[in-house]
Structure 1
């Protein structure tokens, strides 16, 4: 009996990829908080995850087993964020407090997903080893 990792892990590997990409986008925002004219970006996690789910459900299925599988999580697009503060005169739309909060929350959600995957892997190892570990 073969183990289906896609069934065992579900969307969580894609969620990790999306969270990682979002961390990069938020880190760029923080790094450019003082750059004149820089426009803050963000990603819509729910939209990116829905794309990953549609890929798993087969709407982007491969027509031939030799074709490469397209991961929508790796190609999730960032978009410019609507600013919450008035323009300070230099054209920069980064609100450093908002960016730090979003980065911290995204990091916690990344860690939660990682913990879930670790527990799943631990469970699979126990199942394979017959529970003697």
Structure 2
């Protein structure tokens, strides 16, 4: 039995949702910072790319460009475009960020519950219950 098949996309989804929560929390923490640009990423696009085989560059010299590191590559990070920009250049819209954070948290909990149920089922199968 392959655990990757049993758990599906949920382990990757949890990692991406956790990273997205960090980003949104950072946006909210900087809501009053002049010039701060709110950041986010397209969750579905990044998850879809994580499901496929990633293309990794191999460097042969120390001065070559290094491959992207982290859960979400920097090239996938986007800046939010505010519906009503502030005069100080800050693009954080607190209500939008709070709504996005709540939605992301619910989806994180859904994946976590799915994994918990799957693990409980596997545990019962191993015990022979």
TM-score (normalizing by structure 2): 0.83
Where does structure 1 lack aligned partners over 5 or more consecutive residues? 62-71
Q: Segments of 4+ in structure 1 off by > 3 A?
A: none
Instruction: Output aligned runs, 1:1-133, within 5 Å.
Output: 3-55=1-53, 60=55, 74-76=71-73, 77-85=76-84, 87-131=85-129
Q: Between Structure 1 and Structure 2, how many residues are aligned?
A: 115
The alpha carbon displacement at 1:73 in A equals 7.8
Paired with 1:88 and 1:26, the residues of 2 have a C-alpha distance of: 18
Superposed CA RMSD: 1.8
Q: Which has the higher contact order (CA 8 A, sep 6+)?
A: 2
The alpha carbon displacement at 1:78 in A equals 2.1
Q: Secondary structure at the match of 1:33?
A: coil
Contact 1:39–1:92 (CA under 8 A) maintained in structure 2: yes
